[in-house]
C-alpha cells in the first residue's frame, strides 16, 4: 500500500499515451497485489461464514467511499484546471498512504510456513478450486457489463440522455452501500454460497434483458427500462457477490488463505482484461440479443460454480485440503 500510495499520483507526469499506460499499469498491479493480500487477511480473520459478512461490510463501506470520491472527482471536472486534476491524484495518493498506516493497527498474522515437500504454489494443484475460480471469474463479467458495457450502450445505442450513465452508477453505489450486508446473509458456506450464485445469476440475467429493451425505444421508455434493469441487476449483484465470497473462502485451507485468495484475485483481474472486448461485442454491437447472451453467460457460470463447488467440497481430502466451511 505504501508503494501504491507513491504510484497513484504519478500518472499526472505522463507526457504521452504510452507513458500514461505504463504508469497506470504499475498502479493497477500494485492495487491488485494489495487486494490479494487484503482478501487473504479477511479470510484468515473471518472463520465459519464470518468472512462473507466481513466482506459485505467492507464492500458497503467501499461503495460509500467511492461515492465521496466521485464528489471530489466531480469538483475537479467542474473546475477543469490542471491544478484541480493534479490535486485529485495527489489526494488519492495521500489517502492511500493513510490507509497503509491504518493497516499497521491490524493484528499481526504470521506468514505460513510450507511443510517439507509441499509445493510452493499448491493452489495450482487443487484442480477443483481452480475450476471454481474459473466459473466465479466468468460470473464477474457482469461487473464489466454494468460499468463499461452499459455506458457505451447508452451513448451509442439508445435515445436515453447521457446523464443516465451517472444516474445508474449512483443507483448501484447507493444500493450496495445500503443493502450489501443484508443481501449477503444466508451465503455462509460453500453449499449456500453456490445457491446464492444461482439466484444472483437469474436476477442479473433478467436485469440485463430488461436493459437491452432500451435499444430502439423512445427516450422516456429507455430511461424507465434502464432504471428497472439496473435495480434488478444490483440485487442479483449483491446476492451473487455473497455467494462468490462463500465459495472462494470456504473451499480454501485456512492456513493458506493468502495464497488461495491471491489466486482468486488473479482470476478477477483476467476478467478485467478479456471482459471489455467481449462486453463491447455483445452489449454494444449485439444490442438486445447481446444483453440476453451476456445474462446467459453469467447465469451459466453461476450454475457451474454451484456444481463445481459441490464437487470441490466432496474432494477436499483427496487434494489434501482441510477447510472450515461445509
The answer to whether residues 62 and 136 belong to one domain is no
Provide the angle, in degrees to the nearest 10, between the axes of the packed helices 219-250 and 50-79. Answer: 140
Residue 319 has pLDDT above 60, yes or no: no
The answer to whether residues 75 and 181 belong to one domain is no
Task: Tell whether 118 is covered by a domain.
Answer: no
Set of cell numbers at residue 143 = 461487473
Task: Tell whether 109 is covered by a domain.
Answer: no
Mean pLDDT value of segment 229-246: 95
pLDDT, one tens digit per residue, over 45-78 is: 776 667 788 888 888 888 888 878 878 888 887 8
Residues with Cβ within 8 Å of residue 64, at least 6 apart in sequence: 177
Task: Tell whether 239 is covered by a domain.
Answer: yes
pLDDT at 97: 96
The answer to whether residues 144 and 80 belong to one domain is no
| Domains held by the chain: number | 2
Task: Tell whether 112 is covered by a domain.
Answer: no
pLDDT at 77: 79
Task: Tell whether 319 is covered by a domain.
Answer: no
The answer to whether residues 96 and 134 belong to one domain is no
pLDDT at 37: 83
Query: Which CATH number does the domain housing residue 142 bear?
Result: 1.20.1250.20
Q: Which of 289, 179, 286 is nearest to 241 (CA)?
A: 179
Task: pLDDT band for 321, please (50, 70, 90 cuts).
Answer: low
The C-alpha cell 473546475 sits at 79
Q: Which of 167, 187, 144 is nearest to 50 (CA)?
A: 187
Average pLDDT, the chain: 88
Domain that holds residue 84: 2-103
Tell me the C-alpha to C-alpha distance, in Å, between residue 152 and each of 8, 15, 21, 139, 283: 26, 27, 21, 20, 8
Q: What angle do CA 284, 287, 290 make, to 5 degrees?
A: 90
Task: Tell whether 324 is covered by a domain.
Answer: no
Q: Which of 41-50, 207-216, 241-250 has the highest mean predicted lDDT (pLDDT)? A: 207-216
Residue 320 has pLDDT above 60, yes or no: no
The answer to whether residues 88 and 152 belong to one domain is no
The answer to whether residues 239 and 141 belong to one domain is yes
Task: pLDDT band for 221, please (50, 70, 90 cuts).
Answer: very high
pLDDT at 49: 62
pLDDT, one tens digit per residue, over 2-23 is: 999 999 999 999 888 899 888 9
Q: What angle do CA 141, 172, 260 make, to 5 degrees?
A: 45
The answer to whether residues 55 and 11 belong to one domain is yes
Q: Are 159 and 222 in contact (CB under 8 A)?
A: yes
The answer to whether residues 158 and 215 belong to one domain is yes
pLDDT, one tens digit per residue, over 166-176 is: 889 889 988 99
pTM of the complete model: 0.84
Residue 262 has pLDDT above 90, yes or no: no
Task: Tell whether 108 is covered by a domain.
Answer: no
The answer to whether residues 84 and 133 belong to one domain is no
Residue 181 has pLDDT above 70, yes or no: yes
Q: Which of 226-230, 245-249, 286-290, 314-318 has the lowest mean pLDDT?
A: 314-318
Task: Tell whether 116 is covered by a domain.
Answer: no
The answer to whether residues 139 and 76 belong to one domain is no
Amino acid at each position: 500500500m505504501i508503494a501504491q500510495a507513491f504510484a497513484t499520483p504519478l500518472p499526472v507526469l505522463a507526457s504521452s499515451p504510452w507513458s500514461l499506460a505504463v504508469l497506470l499499469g504499475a498502479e493497477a498491479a500494485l492495487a491488485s497485489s494489495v487486494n490479494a493480500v487484503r482478501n487473504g487477511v479477511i479470510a484468515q480473520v473471518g472463520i465459519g461464514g464470518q468472512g462473507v459478512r466481513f466482506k459485505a461490510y467492507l464492500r458497503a463501506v467501499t461503495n460509500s467511499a467511492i461515492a465521496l470520491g466521485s464528489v471530489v472527482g466531480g469538483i475537479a471536472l467542474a473546475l477543469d484546471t490542471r491544478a484541480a486534476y493534479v490535486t485529485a491524484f495527489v489526494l488519492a495518493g495521500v489517502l492511500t498512504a493513510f490507509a497503509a498506516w491504518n493497516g499497521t493497527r491490524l493484528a499481526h498474522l504470521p506468514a505460513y510456513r510450507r511443510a517439507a515437500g509441499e509445493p510452493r504454489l499448491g493452489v495450482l494443484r487443487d484442480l477443483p478450486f481452480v475450476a471454481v475460480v474459473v466459473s466465479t471469474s466468468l460470473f464477474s463479467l457482469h461487473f464489466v457489463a454494468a460499468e463499461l458495457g452499459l455506458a457505451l450502450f447508452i451513448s451509442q445505442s439508445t435515445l436515453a440522455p447521457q446523464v443516465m450513465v451517472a444516474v445508474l452508477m449512483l443507483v448501484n453505489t447507493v444500493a450496495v452501500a445500503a443493502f450489501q450486508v443484508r443481501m449477503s446473509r444466508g451465503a455462509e458456506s460453500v453449499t449456500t454460497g453456490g445457491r446464492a450464485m444461482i439466484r444472483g445469476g437469474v436476477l442479473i440475467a433478467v436485469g440485463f434483458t430488461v436493459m437491452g429493451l432500451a435499444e430502439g425505444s423512445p427516450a422516456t421508455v429507455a430511461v424507465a427500462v434502464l432504471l428497472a434493469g439496473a435495480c434488478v441487476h444490483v440485487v442479483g449483484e449483491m446476492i451473487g457477490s455473497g455467494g462468490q465470497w462463500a465459495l472462494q473462502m470456504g473451499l480454501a485451507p485456512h492456513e493458506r488463505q493468502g495464497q488461495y485468495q491471491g489466486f482468486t484475485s488473479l482470476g478477477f483481474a483476467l476478467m478485467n482484461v478479456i471482459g471489455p472486448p467481449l462486453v463491447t461485442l455483445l452489449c454494444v454491437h449485439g444490442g438486445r440479443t447481446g444483453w440476453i447472451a451476456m445474462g446467459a453467460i453469467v447465469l451459466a457460470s453461476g450454475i457451474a460454480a454451484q456444481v463445481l463447488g459441490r464437487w470441490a467440497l466432496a474432494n477436499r481430502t483427496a487434494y489434501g485440503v482441510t477447510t472450515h466451511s461445509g
